[in-house]
Amino acid sequence: MSKMKAKFVEKVIEMIEMEKITDYTCDPDFITSYNKLMNYHAQFSNLLTSYMSNSINVEGYGSINIGHLREVPENTRNQAFDLKMMMTAYWKIVLKRMVDCLALQLRFFIQRVVNMEMEMEIVSEVMGGGGIEKMLNEPPSTSKKRERLQNSIALLQESKETMEQVMDGVVVSFD
């Protein structure tokens, strides 16, 4: 089990490393989610230029303080907003992939442990360590029951013989 746990942890680390290196998805939800988040861009820009409010309410984030961004050049703000929304949309896809992949990996490892490694250990235990002899030996409780049954059978046979003798001695009279 510890070997399987180590392999599972290794697979999880590999998955995380793959996600860190690659920013790729073909999931159509990415574009939908990204476009939904980018709809806040106009409100974001208006609030920063109009000085109406220092916060914006973005779905999934709640109220975000943006007053400090007025000092940042507009081009940098727009790039940062775009990057943050893209990362947020991508992160949802990554989480979904991680959950799916972890569930698949866990199921696969459990299946392999049950079908291969436990089977081999059971076979080696049965075949190697005198397991067949142990399996063939009669447990004490069974031997006691067997002895009682044999005693009962002997008693019944004795009773049968006695009954036959009694029946032979009985004279049947017919009138």
97 lies in the same domain as 155: no
pLDDT in tens, 82-103: 998 888 888 888 888 888 888 8
148 lies in the same domain as 109: no
36 lies in the same domain as 91: yes
Percent of all residues in the chain with a pLDDT value above 70, rounded to a whole number: 90
What amino acid occupies position 161?
A: E
CA atoms within 13 A on the CB side of 169: 6
106: in domain: yes
Number of domains in the chain: 2
125 lies in the same domain as 136: no
Helix, strand, coil percentages, rounded to 5, for the chain = 80, 5, 15
The pLDDT value recorded for residue 131 is 60
Which residues, other chains included, contact 40 with Cβ-Cβ below 8 Å and sequence gap of 6+? 56, 58, 85
The pLDDT value recorded for residue 147 is 92
Which residues, other chains included, contact 72 with Cβ-Cβ below 8 Å and sequence gap of 6+? 80
36 lies in the same domain as 87: yes
158 lies in the same domain as 120: no
Residue pair 20/12 in contact (Cβ under 8 Å)? The answer is no
Residues in the chain: 175
Residue ranges, the chain, pLDDT below 70: 1, 126, 128-135, 171-175
171: in domain: no
7: in domain: no
- How far is C-alpha 82 from the geometric centre of its chain's CA atoms? 37
17: in domain: yes
The pLDDT value recorded for residue 79 is 93
Q: Which residue range(s) make up the domain with 82?
A: 12-129
49 lies in the same domain as 95: yes
59 lies in the same domain as 75: yes
Q: Nearest 10 degrees: CA dihedral of 135, 137, 138, 141?
A: -80
The pLDDT value recorded for residue 152 is 92
The pLDDT value recorded for residue 135 is 66
119 lies in the same domain as 136: no
